[in-house]
A and B are shown apart, each in its own frame.
Chain A
Amino acid sequence: MPFKIYRKYVMLLAFTAPALIFYAIFLLIPTISGMYYSFTDWNGLNPNYSFIGLGNFVEALKEDPDFLNSLWFTLKYVLVMIVLQNVLALVLAVLIESRIRSKGFFRTIFFMPNMISTIISAFMWTFVFSSVLPQIAEKTTIAFLGQSWLGDPKVSFFSIIIVSLWNGVGYMMIIYLAALQGVPQSLKEAAIIDGANAFQTLRSVTLPMITHAITICFFLTLNGAFKVYEVVYGLTGGGPGRSTQVITMNIYEEAFSNNFRYGYASAKSVILFAIVLIFTLIQLRVMKKREVEA
Chain B
Amino acid sequence: MRLKKANSLLITLILCVGAVVSFFPIYMAVINSFKTQGEMFASFTALPTKLHFENYSQAFQKTHLLNSALNSTLISFIGIGGIVICSALAGYKLSRTRGKMSSAIFFLFVASMLVPFHSIMIPLTRMAKDLSVQGSTYGLALIYIGLGVNMAIFLYHGFVKSIPRELEESAQMDGCNEFQTFFRIIFPLLLPITVTIAILDFLWIWNDFLLPLLMLTDVNHYTLILSTNMLFGEYNKEWSLILAALVLTSIPVILIYSFFQKFIMEGIAEGAIKG
Contact indicator A248/B118 (Cβ below 8 Å) = yes
Chain A neighbourhood of B115, CB < 8 A = 27, 31, 273
Q: At the interface with chain B, which of A51-59, A78-86, A104-112, A147-155? A: A104-112
A128 and B259 alpha carbons, distance in the complex (Å): 29
Contact indicator B93/A26 (Cβ below 8 Å) = no
Interface of A is mostly: helix
Contact indicator B25/A119 (Cβ below 8 Å) = no
Contact indicator A178/B85 (Cβ below 8 Å) = no
Q: CB < 8 Å: which of A20, A110, A266 contacts B105?
A: A20
A98 sits at the interface (CB 8 A): yes
A109 and B246 alpha carbons, distance in the complex (Å): 19
One digit per residue, 1 when the CB lies within 8 angstroms of any chain A CB and 0 when it does not, for chain B 243-256 equals 10010011001101
CB-contacts of B258-273 with A (<8 A): 261, 265, 268-269, 272-273
Q: CB < 8 Å: which of A19, A251, A265 contacts B86?
A: A19
Contact indicator B249/A100 (Cβ below 8 Å) = no
Chain B neighbourhood of A139, CB < 8 A = 43
A115 and B116 alpha carbons, distance in the complex (Å): 22
Contact indicator A120/B120 (Cβ below 8 Å) = no
**From residue A150, how far is it (CB to closest CB) to chain B in Å?**
13
Contact indicator B142/A166 (Cβ below 8 Å) = no
One digit per residue, 1 when the CB lies within 8 angstroms of any chain A CB and 0 when it does not, for chain B 158-198 equals 00000000000000000000100010000000000000000
Chain A neighbourhood of B2, CB < 8 A = 100
Contact indicator B29/A175 (Cβ below 8 Å) = no
CB-contacts of B121-153 with A (<8 A): 121-124, 126-127, 131, 142-143, 145-147, 149-150, 153
A127 and B261 alpha carbons, distance in the complex (Å): 28
Chain B neighbourhood of A99, CB < 8 A = 3, 8, 11-12, 15
Given known pairs A23-B109, A226-B116, the reply for A131 and B44 (CB within 8 Å) is: yes
Residue of A nearest to B272 (CB): A175
Size range of the chain A interface in the assembly:
35 or more
A191 and B101 alpha carbons, distance in the complex (Å): 50
Residue of B nearest to A224 (CB): B116
Contact indicator A34/B209 (Cβ below 8 Å) = no
In the assembled complex, 21 residue pairs joining A and B whose CB atoms fall closer than 8 Å, in A order, are A11-B97, A19-B90, A30-B123, A31-B112, A98-B3, A99-B8, A113-B25, A115-B254, A117-B206, A117-B208, A118-B207, A120-B207, A127-B242, A127-B243, A128-B24, A131-B40, A132-B28, A132-B44, A139-B43, A212-B273, A229-B210
Question: Chain B: residues with CB nearer than 8 A to chain A?
Answer: 1-3, 7-8, 11-12, 14-15, 18-19, 22-26, 28-29, 32, 40-41, 43-45, 82, 85-87, 89-90, 92-94, 97, 99, 101-102, 105, 108-109, 112, 114-124, 126-127, 131, 142-143, 145-147, 149-150, 153, 178, 182, 203, 206-210, 214, 225, 228-229, 232, 239, 242-243, 246, 249-250, 253-254, 256-257, 261, 265, 268-269, 272-273, 275
Closest CB pairs A-B (n = 7) = A26-B146, A178-B269, A15-B93, A117-B207, A19-B86, A30-B123, A19-B90
